[in-house]
Amino acid sequence: MDHRLAPEYEDLRKAVEQFAHDAVAPVIGEYYERCEFPYDIIAQMAGMGLFGLPFPETYEGMGGDYFALCLALEELARVDSSVAITLEAGVSLGAMPIHRFGSEEQKRQWLPKLCRGEMLGAFGLTEPDGGSDAGATRTTARLEGGEWVVNGTKAFITNSGTEITGLVTVTAVTGQREEGKKEISTLIVPAGTPGFTVSEKYSKVGWSASDTRELTFSDCRVPEANLLGRRGRGYAQFLSILDEGRIAIAALSVGLAQGCIDECLRYVDRRKAFGRTIGTYQVIQFKIADMEARTHAARLAYYHAAAKMQCGEPFKKEAAIAKLISTDAAMANAREATQIFGGYGFMNESPVGRFYRDAKILEIGEGTSEVQRMLIARELGLRGTAS
């Protein structure tokens, strides 16, 4: 078995690595401190074709695949997670539902601009009272005069309020099934639609240079043709998108974990304590060795999940495993890196300080660690647990 990257993947990885080092690393700290969205960096990423990586050339994509996206996310997150999550959410959550479930007309209307990075898409699933329990959706949509009338609120939505946000795909209750359960469908709501209100940006612990907001829909009307996929299939559609997205978040988490190692290796070679560089002390060496082992295992896990996905094999369990161990690795490495840096690691201007702030959300977004354990248990055939 050969785990070496094929030449086209390695070329992409190196290109994004160089871009992250040259264009992102020198300036992202200032954006982070100002909690400012880095439009110029995003424009450069668009120019590289990163937003079109896994989409067909028919829609002005790059003709690549999901693994190519994951490699790009890993390299970006080695330097900064805000730009990485902007790409991840824009592609795997914003554009991918349209690619997977949209009509040909919807694809031709939206995908070219999304692939070019001229427009960002957002993924409206989470609500104030419905996070892990996505089936608790309260947002509603009713058909009236050839239009869907949407009412409700979505929370913690990435890429939803930037100057280039073009649409949000929204889950809404559109009726009731015969067995009494909610019928949930997905609708495309263009930015600027009357009745669609975007709140001010959240004040967040991390990901400070990314855009995250609450969305409100008050008698918001969109054409009946804005139904994405079949009516009543919205919940299933979003679950499948989340399965894929967990591989992407795992890749991003591996990038953060690797970034912690990168920073520590540079630091311990120049920082002295008691007359020696701290990298000569076994306690520091062991910390970094553990960081490397965690990152290596997590990378192999997301590579495996991506391979199964691209072969058309079931990958739900592998995606959950990849996200679980990768986010654990990111959190553990960020904690250890901060400890190695000491007081310097607690400063926001330090990359390690940013990594520490950014790591925790990885254990929450796109399915908490608890949800991943639940999914793994179910895939192993364990049923009936309630706590």
Q: Cα(188)–Cα(226) distance, rounded to whole angstroms? A: 5
Of 75, 127, 244, 366, which is the active-site residue?
Answer: 366
Could you count the other beta carbons within 10 Å of the beta carbon of residue 57? Answer: 11
Query: Which burial class, exposed, middle or buried, applies to 63 when counting CB atoms under 10 A from its CB (0-12, 13-18, 19+)?
Result: middle
Indicate if 224 belongs to the active site: no
Query: Which burial class, exposed, middle or buried, applies to 47 when counting CB atoms under 10 A from its CB (0-12, 13-18, 19+)?
Result: exposed
CA distances in angstroms from 90 to 51, 94, 107, 269, listed in the order given:
7, 5, 15, 38
Phi-psi label, residue 175: left if phi above 0, alpha if psi -120 to 50, beta otherwise:
left
**3 state DSSP class of 313:** coil
Q: Let me know: does 291 contact 342? Beta carbons within 8 Å.
A: no
What are the tokens at 300? 């192999």
Any residues with CB less than 8 A from the CB of 299 and at least 6 apart, and which? 74, 254, 258
Q: Cα(353)–Cα(338) distance, rounded to whole angstroms? A: 7
Could you count the other beta carbons within 10 Å of the beta carbon of residue 1? Answer: 2
Q: Let me know: does 92 contact 245? Beta carbons within 8 Å.
A: yes
CA dihedral over 195, 94, 229, 113, signed as positive or negative: positive
Could you count the other beta carbons within 10 Å of the beta carbon of residue 384? Answer: 4
Count Cβ neighbours within 10 Å for each residue of 326-352 and write b for 16 or more, e otherwise.
bbbbbbbbbbbbbebbeeebeeeebbb
Q: Cα(285)–Cα(358) distance, rounded to whole angstroms? A: 24
Which residues have a catalytic role annotated? 366
